[in-house]
Amino acid sequence: MGDVFLRRLSRWQSDQYREQLADLHVAAYGGTPGEPSHSRSHFQERLADDSSRPGFDLVIAENRGPVGCAYGYPLARDSDRWQGFDGPVPADLEELTAAGRVFLVAELMVLPRHRRQGTGGRLHDRLLSGSGAGLAAMVLSPADAHGDGAHAARLSWGWTTAGKLTLGDGAVREVFTRPLRR
């Protein structure tokens, strides 16, 4: 398969890569690249929204084209992200969000043939190393949280379960956090 190289993309570059990243998303999560689907269009909309956020950061893994991607952004100090949390929001999560020191990992995906080779871990580490935050957070559907070795990988990277979050549409998400060293 060859070497996989990582590099950061600017907002402008991520916009230029939007179609390739959407194909990567479909290939990483199932489906046929290039075919219109709700998943593909939903990803493109989410990427467009997320890339406009202050502090947006994206790291891509390449080997003759994209094989993985991770991106995220700092949560705004006045973020209502934790509205719908089941029970009290953990103090560190609430306090660091209010201080503008929580970095949300919005996406981390790797093509199936490049999994279990360290690509996801390298993407994860590179993305978080540039965040400057005190805490990282992920909000995942139960299927994404526990599927295909994802849970074991998160545990090995230092993530812990912070709780559950019910979104406005009734969907339940799991929240994971990880302290970051400064």
pLDDT at 148: 64
**Regions of the chain where pLDDT drops below 70:** 1-2, 31-38, 145-149, 182
159 contacts 177 by C-beta, under 8 angstroms? yes
Cα-based distances in Å from 25 to 64, 67, 82, 114: 16, 10, 26, 14
Q: Indicate the domain borders of the chain.
A: 5-179
Q: What is the CATH superfamily name and number for domain 5-179?
A: Gcn5-related N-acetyltransferase (GNAT) (3.40.630.30)
Question: DSSP 3-state assignment of 74?
Answer: strand
Q: Please, which residues bridge with residue 5 across strands?
A: 62
Q: Rounded to whole angstroms, how far apart are CA atoms 58 and 70?
A: 6
- pTM over the 0.85 mark: yes
Q: What's the pLDDT score for residue 35?
A: 47
Q: What is the pLDDT of residue 37?
A: 47
Question: How many C-beta neighbours within 10 Å does residue 147 have?
Answer: 12
